[in-house]
Amino acid sequence: MNNQLTKQIFSLIKLNNKLIAVESPLQQRPRLLTNLACECQRLDINCYLWTLEDDALHQLFTNHKGLTLQIVDQYQTIAKNRREHYFEILRFWKTTHLEGILILEGIFPWLGEQTSDPDFFLTSEWIKSALINLKLYNHSCNKTAILLGPNATVSSDIAPEVPTLIQQLPTIEEISTYLPQVLPDYSQVEIHAIAIAGVGMYLADIDYGIRQAIAPEITPDELVEKLSVYKIELFKRIYNIQFLQPPATAIGGLELMQQAFKTYKRLLTTLAKAYNLRLPKGILLIGPPGTGKSYSAKACSAKLGLPLIILEWGSFRSYGNLAEYKLKNLLALVDRINRVILYLDDFDKGFTLGDDLSKRLAGMLLTWMQERTSEVLVIASANNIEWLPPELTRSGRFDEIFKVDLPNYGERHEIFKIHLARFDPRFRNGGDGYTEQEWKRLLKATQRCVGAEIAAIVERAAVCCFCQMFGDDVSPRKELPPLEITLSALLAARQSMNPLAIREADKVESMRNIATLQGQPSSPIDSSIYSLGNVDIFG
């Protein structure tokens, strides 16, 4: 079992700390309580647990069956006679002859910053005062109170009096040490593979994921795959993020940015570390919507072979007062996974209001980016860089800023071929279904179309050609004829769409101009055979 947190707690107790805050996730609670009770029994110290839910005091014991709880009648009698509120336990522990460790579960919500609710405020202040008095009164007694909860947020007025410990996610070594208890018949190599799949989860989550996936005929490789799927679902529920393994992503154009990705891959090698070279602290992609910023992050994941975490930065605002707690946990997760890409999508939208919450979240992110030692590549995308605080865009935070612009003729040609290959076999394996003149006609018709709009044009054309090939009632066939997308279908699909860069020409041009001033180009000058022709910005 992972006893690191238990060791830290008892180290603080030996230093005569009478009040300790411990942040531990709910799923790890039984394991932590068992570890504390075991250590207390070893040291011949009584261990008690009080929970807000039932306002009952229990003494904790461990045996070969696990953790057992025995109710303390003395507290029940006294509390019943003089109960004024649910926190009578604080007065009881200050005056009782009982000694040892008291674990108080569920008290943190009253220990945060001040609130406008007068009743809540009075209760909160009484609890804070009672805790401080508890510490002073029991200074020479063998009594320690441990405040336990999933979010150990303590207001600044009492924070100096309460040292805080946080249960960290287990390392891959700790997971590898634990797994043989669950999978005794697995080899060391198989254990290591499963431990890699479990990085980023607590031991309780790994245990649950394995027991959910395990079956009599399952192979170790299948278990790794199922545990990875469970982890992705868990991350979505807990952190509201997408966790993607390196995808097989083809990207059209943006050669300069792709060249930078190759450089980042070399910086991940041990040789680069030997020369004290590192990844950039952050990369910022700026430009109009739909130009391929999110797609570029996936391409970077594929190029580097690193998993990708996608986070909508503006979504943290929905957590309100819990936003900083959520961000702290997410950054701890990213650090523990280590070699991963953190992609902050629509980064600028989190700063539109410019309020205190935005500034606090930005401050947390900046501090983490500046001080972290993990090999995490941070990529953020923004449509409007002027919404970002200036301190975010200076060197040392986002070391490289790329302008992701409207695709030129050659890039549109590559993007079209990538999407056409999804439906039309003529464009697969380097093939081509159109003549040079047909391409020039199509590319001229799609001036100022971004990658997302090109994908939509191809999909509409594919649907049109499919409907032309088959009627309403189609009998089953042994061999399906290939779907060939015609140039006329693509041109018709283009005519049915009004690109954003034409509809909102002023806004898009403003974004492009600002991006040109702030960022370096992600594409070289178009040197393809399709680069000729007059450009009419009004299409």
Q: What is the CATH number of domain 409-470+481-521?
A: 1.10.8
**What distance lies between CA 472 and its chain's CA centroid?**
45
Label residue 361 by pLDDT band (50, 70, 90).
confident
Q: Is residue 538 predicted with pLDDT exceeding 70?
A: no
Rounded to an integer, the average pLDDT of 38-45 is: 94
Predicted confidence (pLDDT) per residue in 314-344, tens digit = 877 778 778 888 999 999 999 999 999 999 9
Label residue 119 by pLDDT band (50, 70, 90).
confident
Q: Where are the alpha helices (DSSP H) in 214-322?
A: 220-239, 255-267, 270-274, 293-304
Rounded to an integer, the average pLDDT of 482-502 is: 94
Instruction: Return the higher-pLDDT residue of 79 and 67.
Output: 67
Rounded to an integer, the average pLDDT of 70-91 is: 77
pLDDT for 534 equals 45
Query: Using the 8-state DSSP alphabet, how is residue 379 labeled?
Result: E
Question: In the chain, pLDDT over 70 holds for what percent of residues?
Answer: 95
Separation of alpha carbons 201 and 179, rounded Å: 13
Rounded to an integer, the average pLDDT of 168-175 is: 93
Per CATH, 4-166 and 255-398 having the same topology is answered: yes
Q: Is residue 1 predicted with pLDDT exceeding 50?
A: no
Q: Is residue 474 predicted with pLDDT exceeding 60?
A: yes
pLDDT for 352 equals 75
Separation of alpha carbons 140 and 121, rounded Å: 31
Residue range 255-398 forms a domain whose CATH class is alpha beta
Rounded to an integer, the average pLDDT of 408-417 is: 93
* Entry pTM: 0.85
* Cα Rg of the chain (Å, integer): 30
Question: Which of 441, 535, 531 is CA-nearest to residue 494?
Answer: 441
Label residue 2 by pLDDT band (50, 70, 90).
very low
pLDDT for 157 equals 87
First to last CA, the chain: 66
Please provide the average confidence, as pLDDT, over all residues in the chain.
89
Query: What are the residue boundaries of the structural domains of the chain, listed by start?
Result: 4-166, 172-239, 255-398, 409-470+481-521
Q: What is the CATH number of domain 4-166?
A: 3.40.50
Is the Cα torsion angle 74, 77, 81, 84 positive or negative in sign?
A: positive
Rounded to an integer, the average pLDDT of 396-423 is: 91
Q: Is residue 414 predicted with pLDDT exceeding 70?
A: yes
